């Protein structure tokens, strides 16, 4: 059956996930363009008839962190890349030259996560020193120092309006912060173990979180009420979660070496992406929507994996790291991927799609 002609929930959902980031909330089906004229023998998968396979190649290798890298994030305008690591440092890089622009110094213990404000002026960081710092990226100075978690802070994210932050910690708490005041406005208690990922939906009415207790929880941002709980099943531990760009779906990664796309309204798992290895580390996955529609993830076999969002096939693997790849990010406007690895590699690699191979 041609997936583009299927009327099942699964394929309709994936089609919406693909189209909606560029055409928000269009309830009418998007016409599928006719396939390009080419010999039928070149069509390996039905999903390949309307887009090329990715052809990412290594562009830069960035070195400077002295302990394991935990996160890489492109700025919203794509001009900068932030990285953080267990060496207490945040580094700001140019993804187009590979140049180190500045270090952000201030945390007294290692970092697990960073997040950009929508205007790209500020960066929030989550540290084992139990605090969150908000940095002015241009000056390199801390503008806010958020205290409230009683243990390591593992994850942090801004709302789109950047007036709120959400954080998760090893104390099991999810905290929502008023950025302007630098104060925690709500503490969400519902996880029984390390909270490893938190994310706002597009209008910041919902927060999704996951923890090493195996649960994915969806919260009302205003009331703090837990609206829904999803479980991976079979005692599988989910360790990263985020909303899709259109906020209609949730992408989760788990220690059974599977990445899942959920319709959280119905609690149904729509797609499962496999082929990589993830049994031990908290490895991030993300959407890529600048060219084709891909899912991108690191792996414990030292590779970066790229899946076709709809067909679930592995479209490309990127090999250059010599350590577990725990961090990946996709550029907001260009076909570019950043990946970061732990010891002994300690490298950030920038990959660019060079177009169809000649």
pLDDT grade, residue 224 (50/70/90)? very high
Rounded Cα–Cα distance for residues 44 and 311 (Å): 12
Q: Which of 174-178, 235-239, 271-275 has the lowest mean pLDDT?
A: 235-239
pLDDT in tens, 143-193: 999 999 989 999 999 999 999 999 999 988 999 999 999 999 999 988 888
For the entire predicted model, the pTM comes to 0.86
- Kindly list the distances between the CA atom of residue 231 and the CA atoms of 152, 269, 277, in Å, as whole numbers in the listed order: 24, 10, 20
Rounded Cα–Cα distance for residues 261 and 347 (Å): 29
pLDDT at residue 207 tops 80: yes
Strands of the sheet containing 131-136, edge to edge, are 111-116, 122-127, 131-136, 141-147
Q: Which of 30-44, 139-153, 308-322 has the lowest mean pLDDT?
A: 30-44
Residue indicated by tokens 């414990």:
300
pLDDT grade, residue 7 (50/70/90)? very low
What's the token pair of residue 202? 């597009």
């Amino acid at each position: 059956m041609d997936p583009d002609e299927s009327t099942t929930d699964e394929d309709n959902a994936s089609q919406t996930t693909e189209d909606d980031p560029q055409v928000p909330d269009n309830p009418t089906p998007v016409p599928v363009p006719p396939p390009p004229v080419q010999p039928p023998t070149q069509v390996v998968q039905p999903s390949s008839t309307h887009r090329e396979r990715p052809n990412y190649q290594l562009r830069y290798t960035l070195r400077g962190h002295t302990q394991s890298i935990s996160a890489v994030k492109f700025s919203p305008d794509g001009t900068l890349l932030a990285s953080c690591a267990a060496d207490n440092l945040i580094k700001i890089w140019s993804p187009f030259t590979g140049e180190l622009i500045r270090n952000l110094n201030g945390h007294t213990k290692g970092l697990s996560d960073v997040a950009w404000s929508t205007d790209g002026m500020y960066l929030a960081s989550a540290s084992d020193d139990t605090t969150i710092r908000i940095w002015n990226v241009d000056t390199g100075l801390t503008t806010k120092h958020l205290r409230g978690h009683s243990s390591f802070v593992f994850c942090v994210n801004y709302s789109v309006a950047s007036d709120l932050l959400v954080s998760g910690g090893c104390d099991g708490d999810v905290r929502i912060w008023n950025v302007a005041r630098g104060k925690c406005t709500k503490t969400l208690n519902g996880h029984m173990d390390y909270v490893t990922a938190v994310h706002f939906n597009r209008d910041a009415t919902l927060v999704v979180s996951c923890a090493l207790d195996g649960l994915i929880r969806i919260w009302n941002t205003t009331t703090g009420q837990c609206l829904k709980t999803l479980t991976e099943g079979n005692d599988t531990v989910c360790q990263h979660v985020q909303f899709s760009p259109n906020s209609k779906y949730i992408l989760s990664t788990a220690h059974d070496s599977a990445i899942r796309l959920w319709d959280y309204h119905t609690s149904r798992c729509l797609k499962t992406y496999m082929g990589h290895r993830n049994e031990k580390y908290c490895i991030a996955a993300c959407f890529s929507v600048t060219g084709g529609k891909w899912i991108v993830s690191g792996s414990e076999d030292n590779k970066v994996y790229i899946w076709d969002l709809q067909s679930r096939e592995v479209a490309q693997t990127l090999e250059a790291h010599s350590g577990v790849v725990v961090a990946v990010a996709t550029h907001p406007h260009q076909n570019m991927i950043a990946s970061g690895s732990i010891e002994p590699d300690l490298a950030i690699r920038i990959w660019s799609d060079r177009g169809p191979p000649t």
